């Protein structure tokens, strides 16, 4: 009888980002789910043994810290949550390191806040570090740095972080392990007729309705954040699988192309790395509302954004900062690095480019956002 963890070695080696959520890792708040952890580590080792590369995005630090501190529930205050994260992160990494060592695999701890990825320099540093670790054969274990993150510095959930990591390392597949079977046509907790979606294009608008839900007490993400993470990952060309992490040999079976969970396939080509960074950055400083003509031009041709297409300017921003471009219904269409500060942008909004010098009193860029600094979403 063959080993259930055997993986077809004839497949081309690929790069995986695997995200494991708090609900799976913490055994419903009773500390780390050690048996499940053993099982996942064994499967990841099997992936590595046939040449695949793996980056692990792991939740669980705060929940593990809550257990170690003897608390009955997750605290409410920021400093108590950060203290729990500091205690729990040590235990979480220790647990991974000990288990991977059994397979002669080396791990590394990477802790990030979104400011690390909003800064272009720090983004490139993180990208180069992760690439170096993979070149060394190391398994990077990534988590949000909850010990220092405030609401302004958060990714918000590790699903979003996982999508960012896919872009950082140019992964082929994002695997999100959760306590649900995948994405359903409706919330199965309230609709017994809801059915599992086995495969769908990640950009299909039907997913927005299917993914509406809440989240558990141990984690911050729900199915909606997983869909957003999958779309973020798609910008670097990756497909995403959302599956039940408690399913027997789930990772190995998926690596052998068994149909499990929900596959969010991606048929679009990867966008340029610089535009991946722009699309994933969370530090949006302002909002430009576009008229219908500008929306049409941007979405069809990817041209630069001219002032004449801007109908309204909101927020306070400086030249070179990131702004979001929305249509008349406030739907985000694009984002990019603006050539003017917010006061200047407000003055030239709706005006033809040849009039800018007269309006501003000096000659500036014809574009309010140049196409090289603009990414259509």
Contact partners, residue 107, CB within 8 Å, separation at least 6: 93, 96, 97, 100, 138, 139, 140, 141
Average pLDDT (56-74) is 87
- How far, in Å, CA of 118 to CA of 61, rounded? 23
Give the pLDDT of residue 218: 36
Kindly tell me if the per-residue pLDDT of 151 is higher than 70. no
Contact partners, residue 145, CB within 8 Å, separation at least 6: 111, 112, 113
Contact partners, residue 357, CB within 8 Å, separation at least 6: 363, 364
Kindly tell me if the per-residue pLDDT of 1 is higher than 50. no
- Arithmetic mean of pLDDT over the chain: 87
- How far, in Å, CA of 312 to CA of 122, rounded? 32
Q: Which residues of 65-84 are buried (b: 16+ CB within 10 A; e: fewer)?
A: bbbeeeeeebbeeeebbbbb
Give the pLDDT of residue 220: 42
Give the pLDDT of residue 76: 84
Enter the tokens of residue 143. Answer: 């988590």
Average pLDDT (153-173) is 83
- How far, in Å, CA of 230 to CA of 207, rounded? 11
Q: Would you give the distance in Å from CA 178 to the centre of its chain?
A: 15
Domains of the chain: 15-275 (3.40.1160.10), 284-376 (2.30.130.10)
Give the pLDDT of residue 3: 60
Enter the tokens of residue 82. Answer: 């950060």
Average pLDDT (261-277) is 88
* Residue % of the chain over a pLDDT of 90: 55
Q: Would you give the distance in Å from CA 174 to the centre of its chain?
A: 9
The tens digit of pLDDT for each residue in 292-329 reads: 999 999 988 879 999 999 999 999 999 989 999 999 99
The tens digit of pLDDT for each residue in 9-62 reads: 777 889 999 999 888 887 666 678 888 999 999 999 999 999 999 999 998 888
Kindly tell me if the per-residue pLDDT of 216 is higher than 50. no
Least confident of 10-14, 151-155, 330-334, 352-356: 151-155
Give the pLDDT of residue 146: 65
């Amino acid at each position: 009888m063959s080993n259930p963890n055997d993986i077809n070695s004839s497949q081309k080696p690929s790069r995986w980002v695997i995200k494991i959520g708090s609900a799976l890792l913490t055994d419903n708040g009773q500390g780390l789910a050690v048996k499940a952890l053993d099982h996942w580590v064994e499967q990841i080792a099997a992936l590595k043994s046939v040449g695949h590369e793996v980056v692990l995005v792991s939740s669980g630090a705060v929940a593990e810290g809550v257990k170690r501190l003897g608390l009955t529930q997750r605290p409410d205050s920021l400093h108590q949550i950060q203290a729990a994260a500091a205690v729990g992160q040590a235990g979480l990494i220790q647990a991974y390191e000990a288990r991977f060592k059994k397979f002669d695999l080396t791990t590394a701890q990477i802790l990030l806040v979104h400011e690390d990825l909003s800064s272009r320099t720090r983004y490139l540093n993180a990208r180069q570090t992760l690439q170096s670790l993979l070149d060394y054969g190391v398994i990077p274990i990534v988590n949000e740095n909850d010990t220092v993150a405030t609401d302004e510095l958060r990714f918000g959930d590790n699903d979003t972080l996982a999508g960012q990591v896919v872009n950082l390392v140019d992964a082929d597949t994002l695997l999100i392990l959760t306590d649900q079977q995948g994405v359903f046509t409706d919330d199965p907790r309230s609709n017994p007729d809801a059915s599992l979606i086995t495969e769908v294009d990640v950009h299909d608008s039907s997913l927005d309705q299917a993914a509406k839900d809440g989240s558990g007490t141990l984690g911050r993400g729900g199915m909606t954040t997983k869909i957003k993470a999958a779309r973020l990952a798609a910008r670097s060309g990756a497909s995403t699988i959302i599956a039940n992490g408690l399913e027997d040999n789930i990772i190995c079976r998926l690596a052998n192309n068994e149909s499990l969970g929900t596959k969010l396939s991606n048929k679009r080509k990867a966008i340029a790395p610089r535009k991946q960074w722009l699309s994933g950055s969370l530090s949006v400083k302002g909002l430009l509302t576009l008229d219908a003509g500008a929306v049409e031009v941007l979405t069809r041709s990817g041209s630069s954004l001219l002032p004449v297409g801007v109908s309204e300017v909101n927020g306070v921003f400086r030249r070179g900062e990131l702004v979001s471009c929305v249509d008349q219904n406030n739907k985000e269409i694009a984002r990019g690095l603006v050539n003017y500060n917010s006061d200047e942008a407000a003055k030239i909004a709706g005006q033809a480019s040849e009039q800018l010098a007269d309006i501003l009193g000096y000659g500036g860029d014809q574009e309010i956002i140049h196409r090289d600094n603009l990414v259509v979403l």
